[in-house]
Amino acid sequence: MGHGGMSYQLKTVRLIMILVNVIFFLIGAILLGEGIDLLVSGRFQNFTEFMSNVQSSNNTQKNVLSDEILYIIMIIPGFILLSIGFFGCSGALTQMQCILFTYSFTIGINLIFQMIIIIILIIFPSKLKENFIFIIRVLIRDQYKGPLEKNLQLTSYLWDLIMYQLKCCGIESKNDFDITNNWDRTNPWWTNSMAIENKNFKYPLTCCPINNISNKNWHLSQKVISCALQGNDIYEIGCYKKLIDIFYSSQVTIFIVISFIIIIEMTALIFVLVIYNRNQMDRIHHIMEELPPPYPTRTRMNNANLYFQI
């Protein structure tokens, strides 16, 4: 009766684990599908076409490549969650020890990593901000090449995309672009009839409000060029402040999502450990049943009688 009761409990645990991993699987499938949809439909196509058309035509392939890399990066989390859900369901159904152990190890490492990040964010917010801003400033100084660079790199492309999408400039302000080692600031629209101070850009074009992108009119207005040259109507807010504003405006939703993910992961880890431990106990039980007793019953009785006779 006891063993039958445990079997019923084990079936319940397996069912809950399957449901938990189905949630993982569905979340991963949604993220993966969203990434593939971005890759196929190209929701950032306006920015990509803008980058391709304001530059020389031989740079188009570079932009498209960077765009595809961005979508692939967005697909990776979905693929990971999809794989976790698949292996979790497989482990719960087949109860193979290797799958259960690998699954529990992966979930455990992921939980530890998430907890470390949360603790760092709570205990060292100012230090984290300082280091983050310092790293981004170094990247801008050493790797940013501007939106008109022919040999565009992913880091530079992503930073232009962030400033374009968030409508911000630099990590803290427009002054972050005062020192850049690899940015060719030459204004391609400059002619000898223009003032010499208009020969070089002071700020990236993506720091300026480019309102005609939605109309597919790729000829930049003099207002936009003047913004990049002199800073007129430039985005004054830094991207770090913009990200913080977005976070605080959606902090309840973010907290609910993070809490939900951690609870689901902890539930999955507990149940997979229960199943793994139960399988180990069953295997030990079967091994013990197959072992012969140390003495036959008749031999034990004879030995007992001999003892009492003595």
Q: What's the CA dihedral at 202, 206, 212, 214 to 10 degrees?
A: 170
111-128 pLDDT, tens digit per residue, is 899 889 889 888 888 888
* pLDDT for the residue 124: 87
* pLDDT for the residue 62: 43
* pLDDT for the residue 145: 85
18 vs 11: CA distance, rounded Å = 10
89 with 18: CB under 8 angstroms? yes
Q: Which residue has the tokens 């801008």?
A: 140
Q: Which residues face 186 on adjacent strands?
A: 200
142-190 pLDDT, tens digit per residue, is 988 887 776 667 778 888 888 988 899 999 999 999 888 888 888 887 7
* pLDDT for the residue 57: 39
186 vs 166: CA distance, rounded Å = 25
Least confident residue range of 16-25, 206-215, 244-253, 271-280? 206-215
Name the residue with higher pLDDT: 106 or 210. Answer: 106
Identify the band that residue 137 occupies on the pLDDT scale cut at 50, 70 and 90.
very high
Q: Where are the domains of the chain?
A: 2-282
Average pLDDT across the chain, whole number: 77
225 with 187: CB under 8 angstroms? yes
Q: Where are the beta strands (DSSP E) in 41-122?
A: none
* pLDDT for the residue 218: 43
CA 14, distance to chain mean position in Å, is 29
Name the residue with higher pLDDT: 32 or 244. Answer: 244
40-91 pLDDT, tens digit per residue, is 665 555 555 555 555 443 344 444 444 555 566 678 888 888 888 888 888 8
Least confident residue range of 33-37, 225-229, 251-255, 285-289? 285-289
Environment class of residue 275 by beta-carbon count within 10 Å: exposed (0-12), middle (13-18) or buried (19+)?
Answer: buried
Identify the band that residue 239 occupies on the pLDDT scale cut at 50, 70 and 90.
very high
Environment class of residue 145 by beta-carbon count within 10 Å: exposed (0-12), middle (13-18) or buried (19+)?
Answer: buried
* pLDDT for the residue 194: 77
Here the tokens at position 145 are 């090449």
DSSP 134-163: HHHHHHHHHH---TT-SS--HHHHHHHHHH
Give the predicted TM-score (pTM) of the model: 0.67
* Cβ within 8 Å of residue 299, ≥6 positions away: none
SS3 26: helix
Here the tokens at position 283 are 């295997």
Q: Is the pLDDT of residue 234 over 80?
A: yes
* Cβ within 8 Å of residue 55, ≥6 positions away: 63, 147, 148, 149, 150
Compute how many other C-beta atoms are within 10 angstroms of the C-beta atom of residue 279. Answer: 15
Q: Which residue has the tokens 């450990």?
A: 273
Here the tokens at position 222 are 């003099």
Name the residue with higher pLDDT: 240 or 39. Answer: 240
Name the residue with higher pLDDT: 13 or 7. Answer: 13
State the number of CA atoms in the 13 A half-sphere of 7 facing the CB: 5
Angle (CA) 212 213 217, round 5°: 65
Q: Which residue has the tokens 């091994």?
A: 287
Least confident residue range of 102-106, 139-143, 146-150, 296-300? 296-300
